[in-house]
Copies of this chain bind each other. A is one copy, B any other.
Amino acid sequence: MGGQLDEVRHGIMDTLGRITSFWGFSKIMGQLYGMLYLSAAPMTLDDMAASLEISKGNVSINIRALERWNMVRQVWVKGDRKDFYEAETDFWKIIRGVLKEREKKEFDQALAGIGRIRTKSEEILKKEKSVDTAFALDRLKKLEDFIKTMDQLVGVLLTLEDLKRNFLGIVKKK
């Protein structure tokens, strides 16, 4: 059956594996997602393990990661005791989630880090006059400004998306 279609499935798994790997997730996450994304029916852990030829334990941890990022959701199939999974198909939603939970957090803590360092070097400069410290402080300020801008940019993006989403929600609420 479907030997032709299998080529297609293999292709998408390869491409999505690359993408997730590039963006700092595991390659297998992408492969699992791709597999579910092209599947008309939800799949079980065993299905996926067999299809990717990896251990069930490996599927288990990677599918839980996908769930954590809302890229996949568990669905219940009547009469079957296994867990079934299907792909979340709203890419914008996925991206917004990742932006919110991962990227924003990273920017925030980078900002906090630089802030601490800048404060520190301001204190030093107050006590002892030093050309080197003055130079470093100047650069630190510039770096902090930059990161602050990036942080705000992400923040605005997320807020805009939230507003849009809420607005649409209200409108659709018949």
Contact = CB atoms under 8 A, between A and B. Distances in A.
A136 B38 contact: yes
Contacts of A9: 136
Interface stretch (A50-58, A72-80, A126-134, A160-168): A126-134
- Which 4 pairs of residues, A with B, have the shortest CB-CB distance? A15-B113, A11-B117, A40-B135, A38-B136
A130 B130 CA distance: 76
Nearest to A114: B15
A18 B132 contact: no
Interface residues of A, number: 41
A124 B133 CA distance: 67
A169 interface: no
B110 A18 contact: yes
A37 interface: yes
Interface of A: 2, 4-5, 7-9, 11-12, 14-15, 18-19, 22, 24, 37-38, 40, 89, 91, 106, 109-110, 113-114, 116-117, 120-121, 124, 128, 130-133, 135-136, 139-140, 142-143, 146
Number of copies: 2
B139 A106 contact: no
A3 to B, nearest CB: 10
A132 B7 contact: no
In this complex, the member of A4, A7, A37, A109 whose beta carbon has the largest number of chain B beta carbons within 10 angstroms is: A4
Given A8-B136, A24-B24, 11 more contacts: A2-B130, A4-B128, A5-B130, A7-B120, A8-B120, A8-B124, A11-B117, A15-B117, A22-B106, A37-B139, A37-B143
26 contacts: A2-B130, A2-B133, A4-B124, A4-B128, A4-B133, A5-B121, A5-B124, A5-B130, A8-B120, A8-B124, A8-B133, A8-B140, A11-B116, A11-B120, A12-B114, A12-B143, A14-B113, A19-B106, A38-B135, A38-B136, A38-B139, A38-B140, A40-B135, A89-B142, A91-B143, A91-B146
